[in-house]
Amino acid sequence: MDQEVISRSAAETVALGKEFAAELHSGSLVLLRGELGAGKTQFTKGIAEYFGLHDHEISSPTYALVNEYDLSSSGSISKLYHLDCYRFEKPEELIELGAREYLYPTHGITVIEWPERIEAYLPKKRIEVMIEILSQNVRKISLFYSANG
Ligand SMILES: Nc1ncnc2c1ncn2[C@@H]1O[C@H](COP(=O)(O)OP(=O)(O)OP(=O)(O)O)[C@@H](O)[C@H]1O
Ligand SMILES: [Mg+2]
């Protein structure tokens, strides 16, 4: 199930995110790893697009920490949670935000940028997306599915 693809533009990463989203279901937790500017937010835009949200509605939650999108019109998945933990000073901040619903999204999907910041709190059941910068516009995107992710 694990796979590796090369993206040669931001638009291609959005398209790959959209394609990837077709495999998600209620309760899916997606961890996006990769350095600053790797393309984690671009990939998330693709996921959001798949669920009927428009590109311009999706912003990086770097300041908000979490963005919550309502998908109620699109079927069994009612929410998309997009977290960016880059600015977390202490992982406990996640608890204050309402960690349980984000980490175990019973009726939604959660996408987390900078999961490294809250590593100890992350459920084992997850899908990991690793984005590596190969050159200015080229990225290697690797997917890892946990046994029951
Ligand atoms: N192949 C590519 N895939 C994704 N982004 C690309 C690619 N080539 C160039 N870019 C550029 O890299 C940047 C990626 O930005 P993005 O906000 O998605 O990164 P990020 O991983 O979310 O960073 P941060 O850790 O700051 O949140 C954008 O400016 C985008 O245009
Ligand atoms: Mg980002």
Q: Is pLDDT above 70 for 89?
A: yes
Query: How far, in Å, is the centroid of ligand 1 from the Cα of 39?
Result: 3
Q: Which residues surround ligand 2, an ion (CB under 5 A)?
A: 40-41, 60, 113
% of the chain beyond a pLDDT of 70: 93
Write the residue with the smallest CA distance to atom 18 of ligand 1: 39
The mean of the pLDDT values for the chain is 90
CA of 78 to the centre of ligand 2 (A): 23
Give 97-117 pLDDT, tens digit per residue: 778 899 999 999 999 999 999
Which CATH topology does 6-145 take? Answer: Rossmann fold (3.40.50)
Q: Which residue has the higher pLDDT, 127 or 63?
A: 127
- The residue-averaged pLDDT of 55-81 equals 79
Q: Is 42 in the pocket of ligand 1 (CB under 6 A)?
A: yes
Q: What is the pLDDT of residue 23?
A: 93
Using CA atoms, how far residue 69 sits from 32, 86, 111, in Å, is 18, 20, 12
126 within ligand 1 shell (Cβ under 6 A):
no
Q: Spell 48-86 as b/e; 16+ CB within 10 A means b.
A: bbbbebeeeebebbeeebbbbbebeeeeebbbbbbbbbe
For the chain, give every domain's residue range: 6-145
Q: pLDDT value at position 5?
A: 98
For atom 23 of ligand 1, which residue has the closest CA? Answer: 37
**Rounded distance between C-alpha atoms, residue 88 and residue 14, angstroms:** 26
Chain segment 31-56, per-residue pLDDT in tens: 999 999 999 999 999 999 999 998 66
Least confident residue range of 60-69, 122-131, 138-147? 60-69
Please give the structure tokens belonging to residue 41.
Answer: 């937010």
pLDDT at 88: 85
Q: Write down the pLDDT at residue 63.
A: 65
Query: With contact defined as beta carbons under 8 Å apart, do 138 and 145 qualify?
Result: no
